[in-house]
Amino acid sequence: MARISIFGIGYVGVVAAACLAKDGHDVIAVDVDPGKIDAINNAKSPIVEKGLGDLVKEVVEAGRLIATDDVQHAIDNTDASFVCVGTPSAPDGSVGLTYVSSVCESIGKALAAKDAFHSVIIRSTIVPGSTEGTCIPVLEAASGKTAGTDFGMGYYPEFLRESTAIEDYYDPGLIVFGALEDRTAAILTEINAHLGTKIHVVDLRTAEMVKYTSNTWRAVKVTFANEIGNIAKSCGLDGQTVMEILCSDTKVNISPYFMRPGFAFGGSCLPKDVRALRHLAQTREVRSPMLDAVVAANEAQIAKAEQMVAKANAKKVGFVGISFKPGTDDLRESPLAELAGRLIKSGVAVEIYDPFVHEAYANANSTAGRGNDVVPDLADRLVPELGKLIEGSDAIVVGNLYKETVAELDKVSGSKPMVDLARLRRDLVSQGGYEGICW
């Protein structure tokens, strides 16, 4: 069992302290507010949360949770510290790090007087880079020690919802943390091992980003549901019924397939249906800012890819894929076709390898090139062999991912300018002449 100090007896701090103590860990809660300290030491919860009062009473009476304002005592008598103080928005909307910095400075001063190794783990919600850019420098300056060597460092976000915090703690949908070294990772693994949820061990900044992504995604879902509800009501429909039915489809509508960062959407359904729903909202005088943003964001992703290709200064660009997705010859509103058309208009020569579109033309299908209205002379631009396309191009755009192309494209990913909109391999990141659109 671990000995843990919790800095900040707010909502996250007191729930974490009580649950850790229930699991058998010895916990010291630290705060500057004497009222919160007294409440815990008197076996009372300083906040109202379902089931928390009884839990605090249980663990305090068992001797596994105490509270203090003595930072040195807390550091000297624990192996790891969780920083759970607030990060309110600054006037410009940025995250406020005043409380986090202050606590890190206090912990750092206490670490200076401690010989044993100690891990500092941030739980406060902070934007990517904050642990490395703010917390570590403050701790190192105050302690005279080096993070990752003389003391441990981690970032461990929480995903607790008010009113169901204890249930969420013991039945988490997500566990993720970042650690600079093995000892901090071992502590965080130990306290989560019994929960039965996969533990994601990542770098500090990825863990920070996951927290913000999770919270923002929840906000997006609420906003989307409200917007659909407003439009549904204007049509005399029950928006809650519509969304309940939508959420019953776990194959497509709740699928992770559409949650993979990459290129813009296209095809015969999504673009026109978003436009149609926006138009319906307008005719009903219902505002649809999220639907408006969907259209704008999709266009921005195409424009971003165009800028990436332009940076290569290539006179001849080879496209791998031109249909709106792999496995079809359908070009209706294909963002790849739109991108190719823009490059052609700017004077760039474009050739295309797409086995499905090529097959349609080779078989003289009456529907060959269906949906294309932006790529002139499409049939003449098709190249049947990938090797020939690569050899004859100054730069490559990987638009659709075909399994048989991965190895050959991978060979030239470091030697020929490449804009990857599909991701050849998960370990490839933008460097040198290789540019991934979202990685």
Q: Give the catalytic positions in this structure.
A: 269
CA 238/CA 353 separation, integer angstroms:
47
3-class SS of residue 96: coil
What is the residue whose two structure tokens read 């029950």? Answer: 238
What contacts 141, CB < 8 A, 6 or more positions away? 105, 108
Q: Residue 217: in which H helix or E strand, if any?
A: helix 204-234
C-alpha distances in Å from residue 328, one per residue of 57, 231, 268, 358, 370: 63, 33, 12, 11, 11
C-alpha distances in Å from residue 209, one per residue of 131, 190, 203, 218, 435: 12, 23, 10, 14, 21
DSSP per residue, 26-69: EEEEE-S-HHHHHHHHTT--SS--TTHHHHHHHHHHTTSEEEES
Contact indicator for 434, 428 with CB cutoff of 8 Å: yes
- Residue 135 tokens read as 């917390």
**Long-range CB contacts (< 8 A, 24+ apart) of 421-429?**
421/262, 421/263, 421/305, 421/336, 421/397, 422/262, 422/263, 422/321, 422/398, 423/262, 424/398
Contact indicator for 15, 56 with CB cutoff of 8 Å: no
CA 43/CA 66 separation, integer angstroms:
9
Going along 46-172, which residue ranges are E strands? 65-68, 80-83, 119-122, 152-155
CA 208/CA 367 separation, integer angstroms:
49
- Residue 293 tokens read as 């943003």
